[in-house]
Amino acid sequence: MMRASLPGSAMRSALYLILLVFSIFYLVPLYVMLVNSFKELDEIRSGAMLALPDNFTLAPWESAWSTAQIGVSPTGLKPYFINSIAMVIPAVLISTLIGAINGYVLSKWQFRGHRWVFGLLLFSCFIPFQIVLIPMAKTLGILGIAGSTPGLVLVHVVYGIGFSTLFFRNYYEAFPTELIRAAQLDGAGFFMIFARILLPSSGPIIVVCIIWQFTNIWNDFLFGASFTDFDSQPITVALNNLVSSSTGVKEYNVHFAGAILAALPTLIVYIVSGRYFVRGLMAGSVKG
Amino acid sequence: MSQKWWQQQLPKLVLSPSFALVLFFVYGFILYTGYLSFTDSRMFPSNELVGFANYEKLFALRHWKIAITNLGIFGGLYIGICLVLGLMLAIFLDQKIRGEGVLRPIYLYPMALSFIVTGTAWKWFLDPGIGVEQIVQSWGYTDFEFRWIKDRTMAIYCIVIAGVWQTSGFVMAMFLAGLRGIDGEIMKAARVDGASSVQLYRRIIIPMLRPIFLSAFVVLAHMAIKSYDLVIALTNGGPGRATELPATFMYSYTFTRNQMGVGATSAMVMLMTIAAIIVPYLYSELKGSKKS
């Protein structure tokens, strides 16, 4: 008995060891960012990147938040963090609302050609956004919202519709159509059925959609870099300016604090509702 | 009667604004960029048609060849390693591991981060001045060298490392979901004993995961082709042009080098490459959902 179970237990130990090694691989960058954001610059330069801080300091965080040089002005990341919030909230809410109503139509009020419409919406999720940069810049200019937060909101709403429609359409597809027919016989109309029957049971998919859109839009860099001015840049663009600016001393500790600041909202969402986050990822890749 | 007609038209009416938006902002824009790729646009769009001149020019550019070669290296390794690592971790995690609930979120959290954050973390972690090289040297191995990120031929592999770090946990989650969907009896048989379970995985279970391989491949390929932020944050295309990818090429030709025609052409090539992968996939997925 003992001999028979030995190879098994050796293998299990190896299994745990491998899993542990990989969890270190995934954690090290976060750990490095975190510990070094509390160190003084000299301490990082002396090659102790993995060590805990000797002289614990909050100065890098203060600097990253309110005094670090971003582009031409020493404002820290704060105004850009606020820009990102002002961009992400309307963009997420609008695209989720549109996605819900689209999904409702495409699953419960199918018409001739609905499959084509859905296919065209779906393909728009996957286009390389480089293809729209030039005409979008021109269009935003014509609309008079170039370089502004409303302009960026429009961009994110337009390119978020595909995914949000996909989420709701697949979710409502599984919803019993008989309930809707019954409500119709009772005289309920299109909007009434949506508001009274479908929406109340849409909680989970609304959460999934909001998390997905929030993560994508908050983390976006390409649109933010292409369609904003200095005073409307989102935090990802500001962080990149902070880290890649070639003038002066490289303040690694400030960069790390800034990176964590930029990551914090999506990390919190992930920690609080990881289950929904994973469901969104799955729904975005494995359809139906 | 008109009430009924109205009820039938209403859904289409509700859908039409988004459809119009997408038609204009996606398909209209694709047509416009396609049109620009046949013009001699430089700093501003121009209407001077030049036939396929931009396409000929693009494929003759050394800069573009570098970008394409890099995409081949990066895409191949990124997709390959993510698939292998994701599958391996998923299979290991599926062995009734204690602490799975702790490990899974650790593997997956990088997916919640922006590529700019990932790039910043890895940029300094791989930096010879303060990162890995310094750390290992401070352990006493003073001859240790690790300066890939500063090396023209090796820098592209730094992008691979950071990309794999960000996405492999997600691929793991996809495979794990696939494994959990497999009939319990088969899995039970797989766990019975060591030697034969390797065989069982190879012969039966991994082949059953084929649809997941396909989905993961499509997602990863599409992410690889679109990769922009990670390169910008990690190396900014350098050293020199050593880590330039098509997405960074497009941006710099269009917006900083004032060669909009060539930039539009490169965007079209990117779109067609992605479409060649995505369209058949979406087509089969939509057909599949018709049956069920």
Q: Which residues of A touch B196 (CB under 8 A)?
A: none
Of B12, B285, B15, B21, nearest to A99 by C-alpha is B15
Q: Which residue ranges of chain B lie beneath pLDDT 50?
A: 291-292
Of B116, B77, B109, B75, nearest to B230 by C-alpha is B116
- What confidence tens digit (pLDDT) does each residue in B141-195 have? 888 889 999 999 999 999 999 999 999 999 999 999 899 888 877 777 766 655 5
- What confidence tens digit (pLDDT) does each residue in A213-268 have? 999 999 999 999 999 998 899 999 999 999 988 677 888 999 999 999 999 999 99
| Tokens standing for residue A132 | 């729209």
- Domains of chain A: which residue ranges? 78-285
Which pLDDT does position A30 carry in this prediction?
95
Would you tell me how many other CB atoms lie within 10 Å of the CB of residue B238?
A: 15
| Tokens standing for residue B70 | 């890099």
Taking 50 as the threshold, does the pLDDT of residue A1 lie above it?
no
Domains detected in chain B: 61-291 (1.10.3720.10)
Bond prior to B239 in cis (omega within 30° of 0): yes
- Say whether residue B163 is in contact with chain A using an 8 A CB cutoff: no
Closest partner residue to B21 (CB to CB) among A50, A158, A282 is A158
Those of residues 167-206 in B touching chain A at CB distance below 8 A are 169-170, 173-174, 177, 193-194
| Tokens standing for residue A47 | 């090659």
| Tokens standing for residue A185 | 């016989």
Closest partner residue to A119 (CB to CB) among B134, B263, B282 is B282
Q: Which residues contact B129 (CB under 8 A, 6 or more apart)?
A: A45
Which pLDDT does position B118 carry in this prediction?
95
Would you place residue A2 in the very low, low, confident or very high pLDDT band (cuts 50, 70, 90)?
Answer: very low
Q: Which residues of A touch B267 (CB under 8 A)?
A: 128, 130-131, 133-134
Taking 80 as the threshold, does the pLDDT of residue A280 lie above it?
no
Assess contact for B119 and B230: CB atoms under 8 A. Answer: yes
Give domain A78-285's CATH architecture.
Orthogonal Bundle (1.10)
